[in-house]
Structure 1
Amino acid sequence: MALSHKAKKRWSLVILVIALPIYMVLAVTLMSWLTGIGMRPPIWLELIIYMGLGILWALPFKHVFLGVGQADPNEEPRQ
């Protein structure tokens, strides 16, 4: 089911304002948990993990964000 342009804008806002901060808290909690149990990775590996998690969150939402910054293609042009 394809989302309308308006729905894409609303869902992208929900994802960026609500879901992304929750995901960031979970990622930092996971890394601090690893430190707490004595499995702190080297700094270069920790950087790679954070970069991977930073890219990983966007993959499932790729189609929601496509075209959100563009004008609505179904809207009639203004004169």
Structure 2
Amino acid sequence: MTVSYKARRRLALLILLVGLPAYIVASVTVVNWLDRPSILVELIVYVALGIIWALPFKFIFKGIGQSDPDKTD
């Protein structure tokens, strides 16, 4: 199933405006559950969680900054 360019742009905007802040709150909550680890462990957890959130959405964000390929001039 292919998603149109406009739908991908709208979905990317929704992910960035709603999903990313919610994921940040969840990430901070996970680190707080670790009972204040060392700064190095905290950094590793944040980097890992920062990479993990983007992997499922790679196909949505790919090509969003380009001009609309479906648009005919």
Scaled to the shorter chain, the TM-score interval is over 0.9
Mapping of 1:1-79 within 5 angstroms? 1-35=1-35, 40-77=36-73
Coordinate RMSD, CA, aligned: 0.9
Distance in 1 separating the partners of 2:20 and 2:56: 12
Question: Identity percentage over the alignment?
Answer: 52
Which contiguous aligned blocks of 4+ residues in structure 1 show a shift greater than 6 angstroms?
Answer: none
What per-residue deviation string (whole Å, max 9, x for no partner) do you get for residues 17-76 of structure 1?
0001001000101111221xxxx3221111011011111100000000001111111111
Distance in 1 separating the partners of 2:58 and 2:2: 13
| Structure possessing the higher radius of gyration over alpha carbons | 1
- Return 5+ residue gaps in structure 2 as ranges: none
Distance in 1 separating the partners of 2:38 and 2:10: 39
- Return 5+ residue gaps in structure 1 as ranges: none
